[in-house]
Amino acid sequence: MSGPSDSQIEQFKATFFEECAELLGDLEQRLSVLEGGNQDIEDLHAIFRAIHSIKAGGGTFGYVRMVTFTHSFETMLDHLRDGALEITPEVVDILFRASDIVADLIDVAQQGGTPDDDFGDEVLAQIDQILASMAKAEGAAEGAAAGSEEAADEEAERIGSVALFQIDFKPHPSLLRNANEPLLLIRELRTLGELTVQLDASQVPSLHALETEDLHFTWRLMLRGACREADVREVFEFVDDDCDLTVERLEPKGDRDAEAGTGSSRSEDKTPADKAADKAAAPAEQAAAKSKSTGGEAAGKERRTSSIRVDLEKVDKLVNTVGELVITQAMLTQQLEALAADKRARIASGLEELSTHTRELQENVMAIRMQPVKSVFSRMPRLVRDLAGKLGKRIKLITRGEETELDKTVIEELADPLTHMIRNSIDHGLEGPEEREEAEKPVEGTIVLSAEHRGGRIVIEIADDGRGVNRDRVLEKAIDQGLVAADAKLSPEEIDNLIFAPGFSTAAEVTDVSGRGVGMDVVRRNITNLGGKITVQSTPGQGTKVILTLPLTLAVLDGMVITVGDQKYVVPLGNILESFRPKPEDVQTLVNGGQVVKMRGEFMRLVGLARIFDVPNATHDPSKGLVVMVESDSGSSFGLVVDELLGQQQVVIKSLEANYDPIEGISAATILGNGQVCLILDLDGLEAMDKLAPRDLLEAATLAREPAPAPAPTPAGEPDPAALDDGAAPEQEEPQGEPAGLDDPSSLEQPS
């Protein structure tokens, strides 16, 4: 046969690395469970299997260091499984380190490199030490086994010249029960040399006593070939226990004859090492039996539905095709309107059905891309552990809602921001043990990482019980860095949200944990690029909570189609708070040409789409058109001045950047029912583009407002961020007499 080609090998390798990534993720998670003190035997089994699989694959592809390292790792895990070794914090620590090494080795292999021979030796030494400290008996068995391997190697070096063997093969009656077939063994012997076969059927019982499943023949075989005795014995490898076998080298007489040829009983053939291994196997068997009872329960708990692995590209293609189908279907529906009513009816009902199925199909296809956030959450315990250790803090990480599903792309993009925020919590948020003790808090700090679905979006929260945002310091820094005016009056939430301002960093010293350069502004940008929002809530001395709201998918969007002049645009539905036509007297034009509208006693900034996009024939006067109040992903609210709302629609997001460049104020495009391209608005971008009235002007306008109670605007599709507050943290109420009336934290980032 021909071996696999290089490209096939590459493919196997790709599969292997993909599998390794999954295994490592699972490993990490289960190690964290172990660390948490929940010692479920099933976790140990799974960890063992993961390392075992990596070892097997590593061996297949010739990653030597991976094999030798995982071998020791595996041995240690095996002893943990059979209870010979106890799970102590020290042991867990070694497990973590060892899995780190394994991850590194996989990494190196994937990059096509070769690790140093002593890579991970420190950890190996620790493993060896642990193993050495175990019961002596087992240590001896290990040593003996190693010895036998050496002996085998030695024998392998002897190259046999042509020899004649006499083989007496007396199968036990039970040989057939394991589906072994003497005929195949004899055939195999023939591949070693010239063979003469003598069958002895004398032991076959009379017909009425014959057990058809038993074997009653014996053979004497004479083999002449250029092989070693070991080769001959290897043929009978699988039936060793089920037969009496003697192999005798007749000529030339071998120097090992005395040892090898005389014994007829199987047990006498065994080397001391084999015996030791047999003994060692006994407890292992018991352990396996023990584990079966628990394994049964675990199997029920963790029943896997059968699955297939599909290239993401194929799924994406499917998503795209379904997207096209949705568009085509919308186009058909629209064209139907042009038909006469009598012709329409029958087609319409068919089309409606098509529409239902299409939507269903789309949902199902999108669901294929969905994955539990577990895959990214599972990386966090390690991070917390490592950082806490480094900083001498005691920190407990609690994760919730790991099964919450999210588009794979979003999950991948989430890893960096999450890592960053957790680092931040550990580095800046949570206090050291002494400080916590002084503050009469539990010495161990807590970070809660949770995910849940809320209204078609996913909400991820990172909450710690640390010292909270140091508002004085944040404000001071922001003023230093020129992010806000020295005399600016900011509400506590506004100050808290300054941490997202570009280039902002509060760390008194740059630590090697949080590092320098990448700030929370980058995190916010990452999240915003995903169509998400990020806000922070903090209570001094009690903790900080960062809230991420993300769309479930990046491929479709619920949008509101609006018109401005002869142009249509899509506004993401999730960002729309409400829409209304203001009275002429409620609209005020500022000296620089900007507009504000009075709404429930607040002046809200207006963004004229026609003006910033230079659209002809559009309504510039909000009181003649409509104002769509939106909340941008960065959390600021403003009104878009539009001509008309055409209706809401689910749209398939198409990239503009594939064939063109990014356009300010536009996030992407979609195709409407009539086949026309329609642009999707980027609210943050629009806000930045709108040449805003300087803050003092806005304040002047705000100060002139009628003193009226100012309830928050009723959110249309989204819960108000304030409503997300479970009361655990921030002070929401503004200090009395505070002149900064604009409920818009992001305006504070404007240099004034």
Partner 1 sequence: MPKKVLAVDDSKTMRDMVAFTLTDAGFEVLSAEDGQHALSVLGDTKVDLVITDVNMPNMNGIELTKALRSNPVHKATPILILTTESGDGLKAEGKAAGATGWIVKPFVPEKLLQVVNKVCP
Partner 2 sequence: MSLAPNTETSGAPDAPPAVALDGNGEEQAGASADARQFISFQIGEQEYGVDIMAVREIKGWTTVTKLPNTPEFVRGVLNLRGVIVPIFDLRCRFGMGATEATKLHVVIIVTVRERTIGILVDAVSDILTATADQIRPVPEMESEQKEDFLDGLVTVEERMVALIALEGLFDNKLVAAATSAVADVSTTD
Which residues sit at the interface with partner 2, rule CB under 8 A?
320, 323-324, 327, 567, 612-615, 654-656, 658-661, 663-666, 669, 671, 675-679, 691
Of the pair 640, 669, the CB lying nearest partner 2 is at 669
Yes or no: say if 274 and 148 are a contact pair by the CB < 8 Å rule. yes
Judged by CB under 8 A, does residue 278 bind partner 1? yes
What is the Cα–Cα distance from 469 to 463, expressed in whole angstroms?
12
Q: What kind and span of H or E run contains 149?
A: helix 136-157
Judged by CB under 8 A, does residue 274 bind partner 1? yes
Smallest gap, in angstroms, from Cβ of residue 235 to partner 1?
8
Our CA dihedral for 81, 86, 92, 95, rounded to 10 degrees, sits at: -40
Contacted by 320, from partner 2, partner 1, none: CB < 5 to 8 Å by type: partner 2
Closest CA to 599 of 557, 620, 627: 627
Of the pair 21, 666, the CB lying nearest partner 2 is at 666
What is the Cα–Cα distance from 464 to 384, expressed in whole angstroms?
12
Contacted by 181, from partner 1, partner 2, none: CB < 5 to 8 Å by type: partner 1
Provide the residue type at 568 as one letter.
Answer: K
Residue 628 DSSP symbol: E
Closest CA to 508 of 536, 475, 473: 473
Of the pair 366, 523, the CB lying nearest partner 2 is at 366
Judged by CB under 8 A, does residue 3 bind partner 1? yes
Of the pair 74, 496, the CB lying nearest partner 1 is at 74
Q: Hey, is 533 helix, strand or coil?
A: strand
Yes or no: say if 287 and 83 are a contact pair by the CB < 8 Å rule. yes
Judged by CB under 8 A, does residue 8 bind partner 1? yes
Smallest gap, in angstroms, from Cβ of residue 662 to partner 2?
10
Of the pair 293, 660, the CB lying nearest partner 2 is at 660
Of the pair 5, 202, the CB lying nearest partner 1 is at 5
Of the pair 284, 656, the CB lying nearest partner 2 is at 656
What is the Cα–Cα distance from 95 to 678, expressed in whole angstroms?
54
Contacted by 178, from partner 1, partner 2, none: CB < 5 to 8 Å by type: partner 1
> Among 2, 111, 212, 293, which residue sits at the site for partner 1 (rule: CB under 8 A)?
2
> Among 6, 237, 342, 585, which residue sits at the site for partner 1 (rule: CB under 8 A)?
237
The piece of 42-50, 158-166, 254-262, 558-566 that touches partner 1 (CB under 8 A) is: 42-50
> Among 136, 208, 303, 346, which residue sits at the site for partner 1 (rule: CB under 8 A)?
303
Smallest gap, in angstroms, from Cβ of residue 382 to partner 1?
23
Tell me, residue by residue from 521 to 560, as one string, x for binding to partner 1 by CB under 8 A and - for no binding. ----------------------------------------
Contacts 24+ apart (CB under 8 A), 608-613: 608/641, 608/690, 609/564, 609/569, 609/640, 609/641, 609/642, 609/681, 609/686, 610/564, 610/565, 610/641, 612/665, 612/686, 612/689, 612/690, 613/564, 613/567, 613/665
What is the Cα–Cα distance from 415 to 377, expressed in whole angstroms?
8
Contacted by 750, from partner 2, partner 1, none: CB < 5 to 8 Å by type: none
Interaction residues for partner 1, span 164-203 (CB under 8 A): 176-181, 183-185, 188
Of the pair 6, 661, the CB lying nearest partner 2 is at 661
Closest CA to 671 of 316, 326, 322, 319: 326
Contacted by 671, from partner 1, partner 2, none: CB < 5 to 8 Å by type: partner 2
What is the Cα–Cα distance from 143 to 128, expressed in whole angstroms?
13
The piece of 83-91, 299-307, 537-545, 674-682 that touches partner 1 (CB under 8 A) is: 299-307
> Among 130, 131, 277, 351, which residue sits at the site for partner 1 (rule: CB under 8 A)?
277
Token pair of 718, please?
A: 């989204």
What is the Cα–Cα distance from 68 to 91, expressed in whole angstroms?
19
Q: Hey, is 306 helix, strand or coil?
A: coil
What is the Cα–Cα distance from 298 to 44, expressed in whole angstroms?
12
* CA dihedral (494, 496, 502, 507) positive or negative: positive
The piece of 156-164, 256-264, 282-290, 419-427 that touches partner 1 (CB under 8 A) is: 282-290
Q: What kind and span of H or E run contains 154?
A: helix 136-157
Q: How many CB atoms lie within 10 A of CB 496?
A: 24
Smallest gap, in angstroms, from Cβ of residue 305 to partner 1?
10
Token pair of 705, please?
A: 């407002």
The piece of 281-289, 340-348, 416-424, 554-562 that touches partner 1 (CB under 8 A) is: 281-289
Smallest gap, in angstroms, from Cβ of residue 498 to partner 1?
49
- Helix %, strand %, coil % of the chain (to 5): 45, 20, 35
Contacted by 304, from partner 1, partner 2, none: CB < 5 to 8 Å by type: partner 1
Smallest gap, in angstroms, from Cβ of residue 186 to partner 1?
11
Of the pair 23, 373, the CB lying nearest partner 1 is at 23
Interaction residues for partner 1, span 69-88 (CB under 8 A): 74
Smallest gap, in angstroms, from Cβ of residue 666 to partner 1?
42
Residue 673 DSSP symbol: T
Contacted by 56, from partner 2, partner 1, none: CB < 5 to 8 Å by type: partner 1
Interaction residues for partner 1, span 51-70 (CB under 8 A): 52-53, 55-60, 67
Contacted by 659, from partner 1, partner 2, none: CB < 5 to 8 Å by type: partner 2
Residue 21 bridge partners (DSSP): none
In sequence order, what are the residues at sequence separation of 6 or more whose Cβ sits closer than 8 angstroms to the Cβ of residue 350?
Answer: none
Please give the size of the binding site for partner 1, defined by CB under 8 A.
57
The piece of 41-49, 343-351, 558-566, 645-653 that touches partner 1 (CB under 8 A) is: 41-49
Smallest gap, in angstroms, from Cβ of residue 299 to partner 1?
5
Judged by CB under 8 A, does residue 108 bind partner 1? no
Contacted by 2, from partner 2, partner 1, none: CB < 5 to 8 Å by type: partner 1
> Among 89, 206, 208, 309, which residue sits at the site for partner 1 (rule: CB under 8 A)?
309
666-671 and 405-407 beta bridge pairing: unpaired
Judged by CB under 8 A, does residue 131 bind partner 1? no
Token pair of 55, please?
A: 């070892």
The piece of 10-18, 106-114, 322-330, 611-619 that touches partner 1 (CB under 8 A) is: 10-18
**Burial label, 37 (beta-carbon count in 10 A; 0-12, 13-18, 19+):** exposed
What is the Cα–Cα distance from 705 to 389, expressed in whole angstroms?
54
Token pair of 29, please?
A: 């998670």
In sequence order, what are the residues at sequence separation of 6 or more whose Cβ sits closer than 8 angstroms to the Cβ of residue 130?
Answer: 76, 85, 90, 91, 94
Smallest gap, in angstroms, from Cβ of residue 1 to partner 1?
5
Binding site for partner 1 (CB under 8 A): 1-4, 8, 11-12, 15-16, 19, 45-46, 48-49, 52-53, 55-60, 67, 74, 145, 149, 176-181, 183-185, 188, 235, 237-238, 241, 274, 277-278, 280-282, 284-285, 288, 292, 295, 299, 302-304, 306, 309
